[in-house]
């Protein structure tokens, strides 16, 4: 009897889930879309036709791993018309509580317009919300036009990728494009008890998106609650990246960990209000630990940024502070203060993993023994010139809590950049070196090395510290398209059933 290698056959001819279905909504109306979603099971694709529809109540998906697919950006257009209710605020036009297993949860091929309902103090609601615990969330090839609120919020502990979207924000109403708050719990406490895990898939990846603003400065992205994010290869036009620390949110904790790399920040002018003449920085942190590299500012027509990146600790300021954790003054029990090597504030740049804080009235009231973990910043340019970080609060120490690239690197301070063979043999603990001829993580770059970071972990001891996560993200199929972004392709090898009224 001849032996049949079933494993080989399966690898050559993957099994198609016979139960998977494509559910065609009858229109883009709110009721038709919700009806089609309600009939879907894990793995199904819910297809929404082209049209221009107004939704006056929330469309929701709960505990399903499906694909919600429009006809394409600017073809399936949804306008938020949910009314503002005095005393209750405004509900979101779309909510997805994702499933933590069962496959990919994906939204693709829509334009969402914020409409005219709501008020200026509604920015913290969001037009759309993705929450839950999915590790395979993908939001791609959509356009978001926020008006009376921020466009999209990410809550819970969702990870995955947000790619090839256009976030079109403009001056006027207070609005952001994207808020990341995926620390996993109400305040972000649990995230602060875990390692940073840089270079892993343990992050929400925001890659290859366009954040556009036509006049003056607007913040595009923000986040706190222990969030873990990677922003890479996005284009920001007259917009900036920012996060929150453990200060103005009250009980809420700072962003936990971030990677910001190979983004382009374009400034087209100072703005009619002069807000980009110049603005302090293209990106900035108020807490957490990060890696910031390879970002470029391109400015013209009289506008610009003083720096590419800045670091601040707002709890050291007298005018901005948390009513729960209060000021960092050198005697606050939440801070390191006079302990051995003491100086650090809770969740500041330079403070990493610590012990658990919990409860609405957080306990125990003491320094959570946060490990020292610096932020590293290198290869950022402002109009072609190497840029240094602007540190805005004295509690953050350069070459202690934050390390910048040095053009002449000797191994004693800062970060060096170059071939591995040029790395100094001697080094001071804490410094780092980006080896340009090491590492393979960018599949669009052929076999050319993409770089990796080595850290001096003790005197004269270099250790591999960081290799970026694979690019494009594994949930992104195919090569990055050119603008205009094409409509999503139709699914294959699935059966069609009716759906929507």
Number of H helices, E strands in the chain: 2, 40
Place of tokens 């609005």: 175
Q: Is the pLDDT of residue 123 over 60?
A: no
Q: Is the whole model's pTM more than 0.75, yes or no?
A: yes
Greater model confidence, 6 or 362: 362
Q: Is the pLDDT of residue 330 over 60?
A: yes
- Do 371 and 415 sit in the same domain of this protein? no
**What is the widest separation between alpha-carbon atoms in the chain?**
83
- Do 343 and 467 sit in the same domain of this protein? no
240 lies in a domain?
yes
Q: What is the 3 state secondary structure string of 103-150?
A: CCEEEECCEEECCCCCCHHHCCCCCEEEEECCCCEEEECCEEECCCCC
419 lies in a domain?
yes
N-term to C-term CA, the chain: 56
Q: Is the pLDDT of residue 484 over 80?
A: no
What does the pLDDT read at residue 148? 82
499 lies in a domain?
no
Out of 379, 397, 424, a domain closes at 379
- Do 432 and 299 sit in the same domain of this protein? no
Q: How many domains does the chain have?
A: 2
496 lies in a domain?
no
What does the pLDDT read at residue 389? 95
- Residue 471's Cα: distance from chain center in Å? 15
Q: Is the pLDDT of residue 107 over 50?
A: yes
Helix (H) or strand (E) holding 280: strand 279-285
What does the pLDDT read at residue 481? 37
Structural domain span for residue 231:
48-379
- Do 153 and 272 sit in the same domain of this protein? yes
454 lies in a domain?
yes
Q: Is the pLDDT of residue 346 over 90?
A: yes
What does the pLDDT read at residue 495? 43
For range 268-277, the mean pLDDT: 92
15 band by pLDDT with thresholds 50, 70 and 90 = very low
Q: Picking from 19-28, 283-292, 398-407, which range would have the lowest pLDDT averaged per residue?
A: 19-28
What does the pLDDT read at residue 80? 95
- Do 341 and 425 sit in the same domain of this protein? no
Residue 159 phi/psi, 5-degree rounding, is -130, 165
Contact by Cβ (8 Å): 234, 263: yes
CB atoms within 10 A of CB 486: 13
What CA–CA distance (Å, rounded) separates 266 from 274? 16
What CA–CA distance (Å, rounded) separates 236 from 388? 20
For range 135-153, the mean pLDDT: 94
273 lies in a domain?
yes
- Do 103 and 233 sit in the same domain of this protein? yes
Tell me the percentage of the chain whose pLDDT exceeds 90: 77
What does the pLDDT read at residue 397? 94
CA atoms within 13 A on the CB side of 200: 10
For range 224-246, the mean pLDDT: 96
Contact by Cβ (8 Å): 211, 238: no
Q: Is the pLDDT of residue 205 over 50?
A: yes
- Do 315 and 444 sit in the same domain of this protein? no
404 lies in a domain?
no
Q: Is the pLDDT of residue 256 over 50?
A: yes
Q: Picking from 12-21, 28-37, 45-54, 206-215, which range would have the lowest pLDDT averaged per residue?
A: 12-21
- Do 184 and 115 sit in the same domain of this protein? yes
- Do 242 and 353 sit in the same domain of this protein? yes
What CA–CA distance (Å, rounded) separates 305 from 283? 10
For range 275-285, the mean pLDDT: 95
Q: Is the pLDDT of residue 10 over 70?
A: no
Q: Is the pLDDT of residue 216 over 80?
A: yes
For range 198-212, the mean pLDDT: 98
Q: Is the pLDDT of residue 301 over 90?
A: no
Write the pLDDT tens digit of every residue in 455-481. 999 999 999 999 999 999 999 974 333
Residue 268 phi/psi, 5-degree rounding, is -100, -5
483 lies in a domain?
no
- Do 350 and 414 sit in the same domain of this protein? no
- Do 226 and 336 sit in the same domain of this protein? yes
What does the pLDDT read at residue 394? 72
19 band by pLDDT with thresholds 50, 70 and 90 = low
- Do 427 and 304 sit in the same domain of this protein? no
Write the pLDDT tens digit of every residue in 38-85. 999 999 999 999 999 999 999 999 999 999 999 999 999 999 999 887
86 band by pLDDT with thresholds 50, 70 and 90 = confident
Average model confidence (pLDDT) for the chain?
Answer: 89
């Amino acid at each position: 009897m001849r032996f049949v290698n079933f494993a080989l056959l399966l690898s050559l001819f993957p099994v198609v889930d016979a139960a998977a279905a494509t559910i065609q909504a009858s229109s883009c109306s709110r009721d038709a879309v919700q009806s089609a979603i309600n009939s879907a099971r894990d793995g199904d694709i819910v297809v929404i036709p082209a049209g221009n529809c107004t939704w006056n109540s929330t469309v929701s998906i709960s505990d399903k791993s499906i694909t919600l697919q429009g006809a394409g950006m600017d073809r399936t257009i949804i306008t938020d018309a949910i009314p503002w209710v005095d005393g209750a605020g405004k509900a979101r036009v779309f909510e997805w509580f994702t499933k933590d297993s069962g496959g990919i949860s994906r939204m693709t091929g829509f334009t969402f317009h914020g409409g005219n309902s709501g008020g200026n103090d509604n920015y913290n609601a969001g037009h759309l919300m993705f929450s839950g615990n999915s590790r395979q969330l993908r939001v791609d090839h959509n356009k978001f036009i926020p008006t009376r609120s921020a466009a999209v919020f990410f809550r819970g502990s969702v990870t995955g990728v947000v790619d090839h979207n256009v976030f079109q924000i403009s001056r006027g109403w207070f609005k952001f494009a994207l808020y990341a708050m995926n620390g996993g719990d109400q305040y972000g406490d649990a995230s602060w008890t875990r390692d940073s895990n840089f270079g892993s898939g343990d992050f929400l990846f925001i890659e290859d998106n366009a954040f556009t603003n036509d006049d003056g400065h607007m913040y595009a992205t923000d986040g706190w609650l222990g969030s873990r994010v990677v922003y890479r290869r996005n284009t920001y036009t007259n917009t900036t990246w920012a996060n929150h620390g453990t200060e103005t949110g009250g009980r809420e904790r700072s962003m936990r960990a971030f990677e910001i790399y190979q983004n382009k920040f374009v400034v087209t002018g100072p703005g009619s209000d002069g807000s980009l003449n110049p603005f302090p920085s293209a990106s900035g942190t108020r807490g957490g630990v990060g890696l910031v590299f390879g970002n470029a500012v391109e400015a013209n027509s009289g506008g610009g940024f003083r720096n590419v990146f800045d670091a601040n600790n707002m709890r050291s300021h007298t005018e901005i502070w948390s009513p729960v954790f209060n000021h960092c003054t050198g005697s606050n029990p939440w801070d390191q203060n006079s302990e051995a090597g003491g100086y650090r504030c809770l969740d500041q740049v330079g403070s990493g993993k610590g012990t658990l804080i919990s409860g609405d009235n957080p306990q125990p009231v003491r320094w959570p023994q946060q490990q020292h973990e610096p932020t590293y910043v290198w290869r950022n340019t402002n109009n072609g010139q190497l840029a240094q970080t602007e540190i805005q609060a004295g509690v953050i120490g350069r070459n202690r809590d934050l390390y910048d690239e040095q053009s002449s690197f000797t191994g004693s301070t800062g970060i060096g950049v170059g071939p591995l063979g040029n790395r100094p043999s001697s080094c001071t603990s804490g410094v780092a070196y980006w080896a340009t001829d090491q590492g393979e993580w960018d599949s669009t770059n052929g076999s050319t090395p993409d770089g990796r970071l080595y850290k001096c972990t003790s005197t004269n001891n270099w250790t591999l510290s960081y290799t970026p996560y694979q690019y494009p993200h594994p949930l992104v199929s195919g090569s990055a398209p050119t603008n205009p972004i094409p409509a999503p392709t139709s699914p294959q090898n699935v059966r069609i059933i009716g759906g929507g009224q």
